């Protein structure tokens, strides 16, 4: 999933993602909002003041988290046509990961948020 449009591919273990998605972590690809077109019926809600989340109105699948102030959107890997192309580059908010989850890859892990990229 290499693309000039792709900002990064990451796994977030924060409680907000766990609650919003209903699972252990959020595997997502980050892109600029203007590079993404979403079709079909969606509903949205704000999980925090700055973060809006979207899901399919028909089946309830979580599709994205969008930070308008930063101009970025995180697409959930499970909602992609081919999630096998996902190649994460790090784990973040591992201070909130579930204790029974073992991270066995060699990717960087950050206790809280990832290093700032300016958005």
Identify whether 107 is part of a domain. no
What's the pLDDT tens digit per position in 27-53?
999 999 999 988 889 999 998 888 999
Identify whether 100 is part of a domain. no
Using CB atoms within 10 Å of the CB of residue 92, give its burial: 0 to 12 exposed, 13 to 18 middle, 19+ buried. Answer: buried
d(CA 90, CA 37): 26
Identify whether 32 is part of a domain. yes
pLDDT at 1: 45
Quick check: 108 pLDDT over 60?
yes
This prediction's pTM:
0.81
* CATH number, position 56: 3.90.1590.10
User: How many Cβ atoms sit within 10 Å of the Cβ of residue 51?
Assistant: 18
In which band, very low, low, confident or very high, does the pLDDT at 3 lie, cut at 50, 70 and 90?
low
The parent domain of residue 18 ranges over 6-80+87-94
Identify whether 50 is part of a domain. yes
- The total number of structural domains that make up the chain: 1
CB 30 within 8 A of CB 9: yes
Beta-bridged to residue 109, according to DSSP, are: 91
| 35: Cα separation from own chain's centroid | 16
């Amino acid at each position: 999933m290499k693309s000039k449009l792709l900002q990064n591919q990451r796994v977030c273990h924060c409680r907000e993602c766990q609650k919003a998605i209903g699972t252990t972590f959020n595997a997502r690809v980050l892109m600029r909002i203007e590079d993404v077109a979403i079709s079909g019926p969606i509903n949205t809600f704000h999980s925090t003041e700055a973060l809006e989340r979207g899901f399919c109105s028909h089946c309830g699948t979580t599709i994205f988290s969008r930070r308008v102030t930063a101009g970025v959107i995180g697409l959930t890997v499970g909602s992609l046509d081919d999630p096998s192309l996902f190649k994460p580059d790090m784990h973040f908010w591992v201070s909130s990961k579930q204790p029974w989850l073992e991270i066995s890859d060699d990717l960087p892990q950050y206790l809280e948020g990832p290093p700032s990229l300016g958005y």
